[in-house]
Amino acid sequence: MRVDIISIFPDYFAPLELSLIGKARGTGILDLNVHDLRTWTSDVHRTVDDTPYGGGPGMVMRPEPWGQALDAVGDGTLIVPSPVGKPFTQADAYALAALDHLIFACGRYEGIDQRVIDDAASRMPVREVSLGDYVLFGGEVAVIVIMEAVTRLLPGVLGNADSLTEESHAAGLLEAPVYTKPASWRSREVPDILRSGDHGKIARWRRDQSLSRTASRRPDMMAAYPLDQLDKADKKA
Ligand SMILES: CN1CCN(Cc2ccc(Cn3ccc4ccc(-c5n[nH]c(N)c5C#N)cc43)cc2)CC1
């Protein structure tokens, strides 16, 4: 997968040189290129913003540098993090992980001139996405989150493929609590069932824990959970 990230703060993406994303870049699974938007400015001050037409607070990112930057990186699927974007989900991560070329446009200030998005949409798919109902300074942090969510789905990135099959947001429920050694820590014991060796009972215990956690913390996920799956779980465990 080729990824181009365009930002006025390219150093924000140093974390993408670390850990499993860094390894995916090293092994060629991920071809990640970070670009400084100011490369495509032509004035001495390397200006990327200007006052908004119609008035209002703050500044808006000028279209010219963005148009030239997007022309330079070529066509793919353009992802634009935005406070007014569609909420980004695990399903979106799976969809993006299946694509060959992602382009991320990191806005700042009050956002990017709308004509940049409209112009790009005339020649490639454009997705305006939001991480959630809170306000960030710009798109960079959102791109780091999306890059983690997408990269871990790429074949060869996660060592243990099982990690993907048992994920809560993929399976529709929150995961059960996890434990490791020692069996007793600060007088707190690991649930006996997990040390029983009875895999059927362990699977049922985990399912019950997932259901109770999801019901209390994410009733929205519970409402969407197919009821027949609950019956199957009972019979299987
Ligand atoms: C008077 N009001 C008029 C409305 N504005 C709205 C507004 C406009 C820009 C910004 C800053 N910003 C610039 C680019 C950019 C990209 C993503 C995000 C972002 N925030 N939250 C998410 N989940 C995000 C994601 N993904 C924020 C961004 C913040 C708030 C505020 C002032």
| ipTM of model | 0.96
pLDDT of the residue at 169:
58
> Is there a single domain that holds both residue 183 and residue 140?
no
> Is there a single domain that holds both residue 77 and residue 127?
yes
On average, the pLDDT of the chain sits at 94
36 SS3 class: strand
Contacts with 89 (C-beta within 8 Å, 6 or more apart), sequence order: 169
Ligand 1 pocket: which of 8, 61, 110, 112 to mutate (most atoms within 8 A of CB): 110
pLDDT for 217 beyond 80: yes
Q: Which of 85, 119, 151 is the last residue of a domain?
A: 151
> Is there a single domain that holds both residue 190 and residue 127?
no
Residue nearest atom 31 in ligand 1 by C-alpha distance: 110
> Is there a single domain that holds both residue 44 and residue 141?
yes
> Is there a single domain that holds both residue 24 and residue 140?
yes
Atom number of ligand 1 nearest to Cα 131: 23
Determine the structural domain holding residue 77 and report its residue range: 2-151
Q: Is the CB of 135 under 6 A from ligand 1?
A: yes
Ligand 1 pocket: which of 61, 62, 82, 108 to mutate (most atoms within 8 A of CB): 82
**Structure confidence at residue 172 as a pLDDT band (50, 70, 90):** confident
pLDDT of the residue at 223:
81
**Structure confidence at residue 168 as a pLDDT band (50, 70, 90):** low
111 SS3 class: coil
Segment 168-194 mean pLDDT: 92
Task: Please report where in the chains the tokens 């992980």 appear, as a residue.
Answer: 97
Strand 184-185 vs strand 101-105: parallel, antiparallel, or unpaired? unpaired
Q: Is the CB of 145 under 6 A from ligand 1?
A: no
Residue 101: inside a domain, yes or no?
yes
- Higher-pLDDT residue of 71 and 231 is 71
pLDDT for 170 beyond 90: no
How long a stretch of residues is the chain? Answer: 237
Residue pair 4/73 in contact (Cβ under 8 Å)? The answer is yes
> Is there a single domain that holds both residue 99 and residue 23?
yes
**Structure confidence at residue 237 as a pLDDT band (50, 70, 90):** very low
**Structure confidence at residue 26 as a pLDDT band (50, 70, 90):** very high
Total domain count, the chain: 2
> Is there a single domain that holds both residue 124 and residue 24?
yes
Q: Per-residue pLDDT tens for 117-147?
A: 999 999 999 999 999 999 999 999 999 999 9
85 SS3 class: strand
Q: What angle do CA 179, 183, 188 make, to 5 degrees?
A: 80
> Is there a single domain that holds both residue 89 and residue 35?
yes
Residue 161: inside a domain, yes or no?
no
Q: How many CB atoms lie within 10 A of CB 143?
A: 27
> Is there a single domain that holds both residue 191 and residue 124?
no
Whichever domain contains 82, its CATH number is 3.40.1280.10
> Is there a single domain that holds both residue 132 and residue 185?
no
Q: Is the CB of 161 under 6 A from ligand 1?
A: no
Residue 132: inside a domain, yes or no?
yes
Ligand 1 pocket: which of 135, 146, 147, 148 to mutate (most atoms within 8 A of CB): 135
